[in-house]
Amino acid sequence: MARQGSLPLLEALKAGRKIEGEESYRHRPGSPGWTAVEECLLQCVESVDGRVEAARLLDSLGYTRHYLRKLKKGSRWDSALAAERLGRIRYAAAVPYLIEALGSDRKDVRLMAINSLGVIGDESAIPHLMNALKQTLKDKDGEDVSVRVVKSAIISFGTAVLRDLMGELKSQDWMVRATALDILGEIGDSSTSAEFSRMLGDPEHEVRAKAAKGLGKLKVREAIPLLLAALKDPDWVVRLHSARALGLIGAESAIQPLKAALTDKSWQVRAAASEAMALAGGAGFIELLNVLIDSSDRYARDQALDQLSRAGFYTKLKSFLEGNDLILKENGKTADKYIGRDLLLEMARILSSLTQDRLEGILASLSTMGHEAAKEDIAGVYALIKEVQGRKPQPKPS
């Protein structure tokens, strides 16, 4: 019955109307009527049309005062729920109380307060959230979920938190430096690129890895020489993120160093290097094909084969040679968008220089069908490849 009585309120708020006679919706805290109206208002506070009026009613009908009392003196569950509700309705007057709740000895209350401060977005909370981050990292029983909640809250402030984060890059605690870089990378402001470059020389490998990751997200071309040097870092995670960063930047000048990284002892680094080569464009795919043909390193060959196969090279080559260009128009915005007609012609020429047995072996591995299953198909592709030696690339339309 209580829920049915609140239906007119729900409909009016969803329609964006101002509520008259609000006293009829005032109830004793904890009563069925109180709960029904609360559910209605919390639902509407998330809507575009009803948000402002629902927030006003939550305040005028006593819900915000109730939440503040529960936050300070309620049970563990009630305090955490009150912190969540205050954030959900973006109640700015609750900021001092939520900041105070950061010192609670109850973890769930602290986490809800942190999250709500991020949702409300009052910049006076930034220093307190930074302290909460450092304390969370310091606690021996700190969990990943706690760090994620604090990071998310800080990220929600965007560029307003840049100065505080960059100040923490001088921290003696490497975990603080690494986390600050991670958050800066998520915010993605280009004004921080110099700091990422500088931190690539940090003595702690986790910090260097975060710096490389951030340079990739920001696509800092000026950092290419530093990232190339980092491909030889003693730590594989740094090498991994450096290779990925070079791929995101799309540096053709990095192809040869990335090619060398295909022999890295870490398979994750090898995979990242091959992906980065593909992202560098046609020249990267040509080098991947050369690695597949010429490299004496089995792991490098396997990685090149995997990348070419995932790009659909065999299917595209076969379609191109047969004069069916439809598949070339369906690449989308992925690394294999670089596999166009001229590139396929160049790669076909490279393949045509091989002996028949060698060429058929390469085609069999690329086809993913196996030599016997694809024998007839491969023979046809082999014949077409031999025909391309006299072809010239088509002129690009003016």
What does the pLDDT average to over 133-147?
A: 79
Lowest mean pLDDT, pick from 120-124, 141-145, 175-179, 200-204: 141-145
What does the pLDDT average to over 82-86?
A: 97
State yes or no: pLDDT of 255 exceeds 50.
yes
Q: What is the pLDDT of residues 198-254, one digit of tens each?
A: 999 999 999 999 999 999 999 999 999 999 999 999 999 999 999 999 999 998 899
363 pLDDT band (50/70/90 cuts)? confident
What does the pLDDT average to over 57-62?
A: 95
- % of the chain surpassing 70 pLDDT: 89
331 pLDDT band (50/70/90 cuts)? very low
Predicted pLDDT at 340 = 81
Question: Is pLDDT larger for residue 327 or for residue 292?
Answer: 292
d(CA 11, CA 3): 12
Predicted pLDDT at 103 = 94
Predicted pLDDT at 327 = 47
Average confidence score pLDDT of the chain: 89
Predicted pLDDT at 8 = 83
d(CA 43, CA 58): 12
Q: What is the pLDDT of residues 271-319, one digit of tens each?
A: 999 999 999 989 999 999 999 999 999 999 999 999 999 998 988 888 8
